[in-house]
């Protein structure tokens, strides 16, 4: 499945990084601890988090993460959005909390 299909099926907002919507997704990872994601999230996964700063994109890029989903209507800070455009890694958004979104994404990808 590609990022664009997830956006449509889960009714997500695309905040930035539209150029990366055709990236292939291999799974998901839900965490707000950056070292946890750095150490344990594999390439090609979608990262669900409430962190909205630029370091999220540094990690997403270093780990070849397919896209980031911000929960609870959170929006990326300006430099995070800019970095997402540069890296062509989409930052998406939902009004749902992490638990519900993770459940829905899991159902889609299992």
Partner 1 sequence: MLFDFEIQGGDFATAGNASSQIKKILKQLNVDHRDIKRIVVALYEAEVNVVAHAFGGKISAEINTTEVRIRLVDEGPGIPDIELAMQQGYSTASPEVREMGFGAGMGLPNMKKNTDEMHITSVVDEGTTVELIFFLNQTPPNH
| Positive or negative: CA dihedral 108, 30, 5, 2 | negative
Which residue in 26, 55, 78, 95 binds partner 1 (CB under 8 A)? 55
Task: From 110, 26, 14, select the one nearest 65 (Cα to Cα).
Answer: 26
Tokens representing 49? 């988090």
Tokens representing 93? 């958004």
Which residue in 9, 11, 33, 78 binds partner 1 (CB under 8 A)? 33
If one asks whether residue 36 binds partner 1 (CB under 8 A), the answer comes out as: yes
Which residue in 4, 54, 75, 104 binds partner 1 (CB under 8 A)? 54
Nearer to partner 1 (CB atom), residue 7 or residue 69: 69
Report whether 24 contacts 2 (CB < 8 A): yes
Which residue in 63, 69, 81, 101 binds partner 1 (CB under 8 A)? 63
In eight-state DSSP terms, residue 68 is E
- Contact residues: partner 1, CB under 8 A: 32-36, 38-39, 43, 49, 51, 53-55, 58-59, 61-63, 79
């Amino acid at each position: 499945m590609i990022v664009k299909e997830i956006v449509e099926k889960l009714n997500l907002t695309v905040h930035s990084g539209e150029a990366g919507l055709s990236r292939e997704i291999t799974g998901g990872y839900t965490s707000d601890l950056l070292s946890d994601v750095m150490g344990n999230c594999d390439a090609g996964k979608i990262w669900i988090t409430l962190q909205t700063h630029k370091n999220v994109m540094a990690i997403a890029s270093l780990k070849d993460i397919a896209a980031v989903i911000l929960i609870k209507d959170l929006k990326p800070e300006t430099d995070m959005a800019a970095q997402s455009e540069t890296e062509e890694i989409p930052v998406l958004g939902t009004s749902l909390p992490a638990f519900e979104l993770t459940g829905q994404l899991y159902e889609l990808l299992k």
